[in-house]
Structure 1
Amino acid sequence: MLYWALVFLVVAIVAGLFGFGGIASASAGIAQILFFVFLVLFVIALVARAVRGNAPR
């Protein structure tokens, strides 16, 4: 999922450079949403692992 966030971020930057404002803002919005979804899932995974008591390797 982080991969897709980075892909949409690159698309937004390229579209912004060429002056496609609508495409750039849409891609940046999608990248931001995907990044925050990834971040929330990462935190949930860390909390679940801490609650179970498994030590990281």
Structure 2
Amino acid sequence: MLYTEHYEDYSLPGGGLELGEDKTEGIIREIIEETGAKNITNIQPFGIYE
């Protein structure tokens, strides 16, 4: 969860899959883009929300 000062709330990193990208690659890319995290490992999808 990410805290956004502008809206004073928490939300999940968001985005979508790029063409040809699998779900795990997409979530790792989005986490990096949204948080700047590094060395992300052991990621496994557990659900999808729309």
Do they superpose with TM above 0.5? no
* TM-score normalized with structure 2 length: 0.32
The structure in which a higher percent of residues are strand is 2
Q: RCO (CA 8 Å, sep 6+): is it higher in 1 or 2?
A: 1
Whose radius of gyration is greater, 1 or 2? 1
